[in-house]
Chains A and B, each alone.
Chain A
Amino acid sequence: MKDILLSKKVLFVSLSIAATYIVLAVYLMNFSLVKDTIFGSFPLSYKFNLLTALLGGMWTAMTKFSLFLLVLTGILTGINLTLLVLRLSVMRGSGKLHIMVGGSSLLAIVSSGCAVCGLPILALLGLSGSIIYLPFQGAEISVVAVILLLMTLYFMIVSYPTEQVCKYYIGDLKK
């Protein structure tokens, strides 16, 4: 399992997914602006400059704690998804795990952003008001998402079907 986790391919794919996830979450705060910028008839330099500047917003428009949770969630989502796909490639099925990884990652996306000023992605769904009923204005949802992702990762590692590789050969030989 350690070999799989530390393999260059798994690391690369996991980090790529993590980066995509983080960029997506940062841009979601300015969803309409990003959409208009990408699809609008603007000069390429404008598109590049604005999208780069908005990406810099992850340092200025989020608390350090929110940013930490976002990066952690991104990395966990990356590893979870990579392992899930690897696992599904040797084991057909496992729908429950798929839902758990997907669900907890979406939960984290939804709760990311600046909860302090009412700007988590919940606002996109018209649910920003819900955060006023939470003691930490929505940051707890990110924490729950991280816990769920850690649990999923743990169960995935513990039950990883490493011997399935051998079964592949056996199945192959039976042909």
Chain B
Amino acid sequence: MEHEHHHHSEHHTHSDKKDFSIPASIIVGAILVSASVFYNAKLIIRELGGGNLKGLSQNQAQAPGAPGGSQAPVPQADSGPVQVSMDDDPVMGSKNAPLTVIEFSDYECPFCKRSFSDVIPNLKKDYIDTGKVKLVYRDFPLSFHQNAQKEAEASECARVQGGDAVYFKFHDQIFTKTTSNGTGLALEQLPVIAKDLGLNVNQFQQCLDSGKYKDEVAKDIADGAAAGVSGTPTWFIGKTTSNGTIDGTRIVGAQPYAAFKTVIDQQLK
């Protein structure tokens, strides 16, 4: 009886240890798995030279400035601020704003449309209209969004007639009208938008048909790829510089406005 009691007591202690060891081993296991995922992802990125270019079409990857193109990009570190240029792309807000937000976007990406409706209006109200931030829009049409490339070129054709103000009116019209599913806006609608905005439609159509801004869009893609953009929308937030290249904090995806506000407020301090 005493032996049995002793045995039960031993078993009880053993059982207690087991109860503790199971969740502990799960947590340790989860941490190890997480660590290995992070570590391996990092290693692979480093081995691939930081490139995400497999996400681009052959045409995009061979754009000037893209690896494999005429000019090799500077590899970007996988942490810390990322160097990215605003190039000669359209600017919303005061050119002297202390902070620059560069957005790489695709007119046919549903999450870019969501950012257009949820993030941009707040950003405009709180920071752009108050002269604290300027927004630079750069194109990053993904190859599987059929109409995105032409829509990007069309916006540039609108800009050539009316500057950045008209560019952003055109941009707003595309995002408002498209369902953003690759072919969310029929290409026949582009001259209709141009007409609605009072642009010279013939001139606009000639510009669009000539593919005059194909290289400009390709340059945006190449610069984005060099800065580690692999999907849209991707944003960079950094202090404005005289040469137009910022050390930007990268935010990927249609994140809530609160994320942008937090980063911007911190950088404005």
Residues of A within 8 A of B (CB): 9, 13, 17, 20-21, 24, 28-33, 35-36, 42, 46, 49-50, 52-54, 56-57, 59-61, 63, 81-82, 85-86, 89, 102, 105-106, 109, 113-114, 116-119, 121, 123-132, 137, 172
Give the Cβ gap from A34 to chain B, nearest Cβ, in Å. 10
**Is chain B's interface secondary structure helix, strand, loop, or mixed overall?**
helix
Give the Cβ gap from A17 to chain B, nearest Cβ, in Å. 6
Give the Cβ gap from B54 to chain A, nearest Cβ, in Å. 3
Cβ contact within 8 Å between B262 and A119 = no
Contacting chain A: which of B31-39, B152-160, B168-176? B31-39
Asked if A50 meets B262 with Cβ closer than 8 Å, knowing A57-B254, A126-B44, A126-B52, the reply is yes
Q: Nearest CB to that of B19 among chain A residues? A: A9
CA distance A56 to B254 in the complex (A): 10
CA distance A137 to B51 in the complex (A): 20
Give the Cβ gap from A151 to chain B, nearest Cβ, in Å. 20
Cβ contact within 8 Å between B254 and A36 = no
Residues of B within 8 A of A (CB): 7, 11, 18-19, 21-23, 25-26, 29-30, 33-34, 37-38, 41, 44-45, 48, 50-57, 78-80, 106, 109-112, 114, 118, 142-144, 230-233, 249-256, 258-259, 261-263, 266
CA distance A124 to B52 in the complex (A): 8
- Residues of A within 8 Å of B37, CB to CB, are 24, 28, 106, 109
What number of A-B contacts does a CB cutoff of 8 Å give? 162
Cβ contact within 8 Å between A116 and B109 = yes
